[in-house]
Amino acid sequence: MNFHIMTLFPEMVTQGLETSILGRATEKKLITVDSVNIRDYTADLRHRKVDDYTYGGGAGMLMQAQPVYDCWKAVEARIHEKTTSPEKTRVIYVTPQGQVFNQHMAENFSKEEDLIFLCGHYEGVDERVLEEIVTDYVSIGDYVLTGGELPAMVMIDAISRLVPGVLNNDASAETESFHEDLLEYPQYSRPEEWMGRKVPDVLLSGDHAKVDAWRLEQSVERTRLRRPDLYEKWLAAHPPKPEKRKRRRKKESE
């Protein structure tokens, strides 16, 4: 999978994504990260200017349409040099005005061969170029950051982990938090007892069926307590059998 990040600070992105699991995935050529400096495409060769004042007044500067568009054209041309697909590459604009990023979105994006991220700065980007090139408006939360690089890195990390081969154990991505709208169950390692706290007996039993049942029960209960919004979604997709409803209502009332 190939990530193309249009940014004013390419070193920030590449340095943040070249270590640990993603660094190893890059070395194995499971993913590639191409950071492209938008300033390289400005028509202002003397000052390399990419921003200007907003029409109508207001605080701050706005990224201009021309350098962003020309940068996108260059990236898109490189992508289409290696593919015969006529389809436009998905362009993700990182903005607090977008749909909030989640695991389901990461799974959807991970099916693409190429993704382009546009990282804004200042007061944002000229609306006209957004209308021309952006396919997805995505936020990582209801707060404002100084630029789009950190959110882009967060999304790239989440998406990359779903690319086959990136994780040493691909199955681990299927048991983590947000899989089927459930939080991950509690996990334990050696020693069996630490500061008076023991590992649950079921995990030492060797009975995999019982372990799986315990983990599911823990995931459901943890989700109910910590993320009732996700719990309601999971419950709608997995309605309890009549004999379990009474026990669940009793537990929820406690």
Are both 163 and 208 inside the same structural domain? no
Task: Please report the pLDDT score of residue 176 as a whole number.
Answer: 60
Does residue 218 contact residue 185 with C-beta atoms inside 8 Å?
Answer: yes
Give this prediction's pTM: 0.83
Domain that holds residue 136: 2-168
195 and 143 co-located in one domain: no
CB atoms within 10 A of CB 58: 10
Residue 87's pLDDT is 84
Written as tens digits, the pLDDT of the chain (254 aa) is 999 999 999 999 999 999 899 999 999 999 999 999 999 999 988 888 999 999 998 878 999 999 999 999 999 999 999 876 678 899 999 999 999 999 999 999 999 999 999 999 988 999 999 999 999 999 999 998 999 999 999 999 999 999 999 997 655 555 565 768 899 999 999 999 999 999 999 999 999 999 999 999 999 999 999 999 999 999 999 988 776 656 666 666 66
Q: CATH number for the domain including 85?
A: 3.40.1280.10
Exposed, middle or buried: residue 153 (CB in 10 Å: 0-12, 13-18, 19+)?
A: buried
Q: Are 18 and 153 in contact (CB under 8 A)?
A: no
Residue 234 belongs to domain with CATH number: 1.10.1270.20
Are 215 and 131 found together in one domain? no
By DSSP bridging, strand 90-100 and strand 114-119 are parallel
pLDDT at 253: 65
| DSSP labels, the chain | -EEEEEES-HHHHHHHHSSHHHHHHHHTTS-EEEEEEGGGG-S-TTT---EEEPTT--SSEEE-HHHHHHHHHHHHHHHHHS----SPPEEEEEEEEEEEP-HHHHHHHTT-SEEEEEE-BTT-B-HHHHHHH-SEEEESSSS--SBSHHHHHHHHHHHHTTSTTSSSSGGGGGSSTTBTTBPPPP---SSSEETTEEPPGGGGS--HHHHHHHHHHHHHHHHHHH-HHHHHHHHHHSPPPHHHHHHHHHHHH-
Residues 88 and 192 in one domain: no
Q: Are 28 and 163 in contact (CB under 8 A)?
A: no
Q: Which residues contact 107 (CB under 8 A, 6 or more apart)?
A: 162
Given 168, 183, 213, which residue is the final one in a domain? 168
Count of domains in the chain? 2
**End-of-domain residue from the set 131, 151, 168:** 168
